[in-house]
Amino acid sequence: MTADRITAGFIPLIDAAPLIVAHELGFAEDVGIELALVRESSWATLRDRVAVGHLEIAHLLAPIAIAGCLGLPPLPVSVIAPLALGTGRNAITVSLALAETLGRYGELEGNATVTGDALNALTRDRGPSNQVTIAVVHPFSAHAYLLNYWLRGSGIRPNEDVVVEVLPPSLMVDALKSGRIDACCVGEPWNTVAQNEGVGRAVVACDDIWGANPDKILGVRKVWAEEHPDLTRNIVRCVFQAAKWCDQPRNRDRLIDILSQTQYLNLPSDQVGQSLGEDYLHFGQTAVRASFARRGTTFPSAQHGLWFYSQMIENGQLVHDEQHTQRIKDMYRPNIYREALAEFDDADEAEIGTSSAFFDGQDFGPSF
């Protein structure tokens, strides 16, 4: 029997592991799929390759997919999200110089409120001539929205009191090292790498801003999914199985070996191991239970998409339109998730983050 070839793009991050493992350990092959992986360095390039049809599926930032579905420039792209990927592995890391300076304004306890108050006091003292520069991975990203939410909640105006700019995840550590940026909001393994190389200190886990916050999706090109419904369900099935495998402690050493390879994260195994954590990752003093498939991590929730949409409006990237909300609801496909995983008793539909408050005490709940 000839396998169906599917080309999948990914960024070298820990939360790409389910896609990588689905290829490496034969989960894709078991459902008749030849999964060809393509590594990219930037989210913009990955989005563009999906848009022009080079890739059928991709490890995508959920907000970049939402922006594409809403037709926002530079390159609109229609995808669906039948599976979610990634939670608990984003953090705000500051340079050692900034950490030392912030320490004079308050003890950095890994607490979002304490660290935010310290940064607020620092920005007031520095003024507009000496602003802190913080990098995020893309303007349409959970990183940008959680960072800006935290800044505003701490009394700091993004791009007025501090500079927020964009860099690919893999360049964050070098930018900290060179002094090009003072801080970054990025996913693993790059916070761990920055700490291990002695160029940064993770001071706030994004989970401390919003508990168990969502981040990535398995993005499937909409036209392709409509033409290949069986393949779409099969790719959801094999990536879900791979995500469950990644969560098993007994598989940790094998997972480290796989992700460390040159074609994937291309990092020493000890750094990959730290990024995975035994049970918890420690950013600052915050212990984060990172997950691939537990706690509803894989469930594609339109409520998460609508929260990202609310932040697009808050950040001035668009204005509200009722058609937007319907497009976002149409993008998330829990029906495909349920159909694909009907045989799995452990396909968890609990929607992560929907019962979690934000660091400022606000409850989750998009008003659309």
Q: Which of 158, 192, 209 is the last residue of a domain?
A: 209
Q: What is the share, in percent, of the chain residues with pLDDT greater than 90?
A: 80
Residue 342 banded pLDDT, cuts 50, 70, 90: very high
pLDDT at position 69, please? 94
In a shared domain, residues 252 and 335: yes
Q: What 3-state class would DSSP assign to 200?
A: strand
How many Cβ atoms are within 10 Å of 70's Cβ, its own excluded? Answer: 20
Q: Is the pLDDT reported for residue 356 higher than 70?
A: no
Q: Is the pLDDT reported for residue 164 higher than 80?
A: yes
Q: Is the pLDDT reported for residue 355 higher than 60?
A: no
In a shared domain, residues 169 and 274: no
Question: How far apart are the C-alpha atoms of 198 and 184, rounded to whole Å?
Answer: 15
Residue 38 banded pLDDT, cuts 50, 70, 90: very high
pLDDT at position 1, please? 54
Nearest to 195 by CA among 103, 282, 108: 282
pLDDT at position 281, please? 74
Q: Is residue 357 part of a domain?
A: no
Pairwise pLDDT comparison (194 vs 297), residue with the higher score: 194
Q: Which of 209, 240, 274 is the last residue of a domain?
A: 209
Q: Which of 165, 190, 209 is the last residue of a domain?
A: 209
Q: Is residue 186 part of a domain?
A: yes
In a shared domain, residues 205 and 224: no
143: Cβ contacts below 8 Å, ≥ 6 apart: 90, 136, 137, 185, 186, 187, 206
In a shared domain, residues 199 and 241: no
Strands 183-187 and 133-136: parallel
pLDDT at position 278, please? 67
Q: Is the pLDDT reported for residue 353 higher than 60?
A: no
How many Cβ atoms are within 10 Å of 285's Cβ, its own excluded? Answer: 14
In a shared domain, residues 25 and 72: yes
Lowest mean pLDDT among 7-16, 71-80, 128-137, 317-326: 71-80
Question: How far apart are the C-alpha atoms of 195 and 198, rounded to whole Å?
Answer: 5
pLDDT at position 92, please? 95
In a shared domain, residues 125 and 181: yes
pLDDT at position 16, please? 96
pLDDT at position 96, please? 96
In a shared domain, residues 46 and 112: no
Which residues face 92 on adjacent strands?
185, 204
In a shared domain, residues 250 and 264: yes
Q: Is residue 53 part of a domain?
A: yes
Nearest to 327 by CA among 142, 49, 78, 48: 78
Q: Is residue 364 part of a domain?
A: no
Q: Is residue 245 part of a domain?
A: yes
The CATH number that applies at residue 219 is 3.40.190.10
pLDDT at position 247, please? 92
User: Residue 298: which domain range?
Assistant: 4-86+215-340
Q: Is residue 359 part of a domain?
A: no
Q: Is residue 327 part of a domain?
A: yes
Tally of domains in the chain: 2
pLDDT at position 348, please? 62
Per residue in 71-116, pLDDT (tens digit) is 988 888 899 999 999 776 899 999 999 999 999 998 777 789 999 9
Instruction: Give the mean model confidence (pLDDT) for residues 188-196.
Output: 94
In a shared domain, residues 226 and 329: yes
Q: What 3-state class would DSSP assign to 212?
A: coil
How many Cβ atoms are within 10 Å of 101's Cβ, its own excluded? Answer: 18
pLDDT at position 280, please? 65
Instruction: Give the mean model confidence (pLDDT) for residues 326-354.
Output: 84
In a shared domain, residues 98 and 10: no
Strands 57-61 and 214-221: antiparallel
Lowest mean pLDDT among 80-94, 235-249, 316-330: 80-94
Per residue in 204-217, pLDDT (tens digit) is 999 889 877 889 99
pLDDT at position 86, please? 75
Per residue in 128-139, pLDDT (tens digit) is 989 999 999 999
In a shared domain, residues 296 and 245: yes
pLDDT at position 153, please? 97
Q: What 3-state class would DSSP assign to 2?
A: coil
pLDDT at position 308, please? 95
Q: Is residue 354 part of a domain?
A: no
The mean pLDDT value of the chain amounts to 92
In a shared domain, residues 78 and 94: no
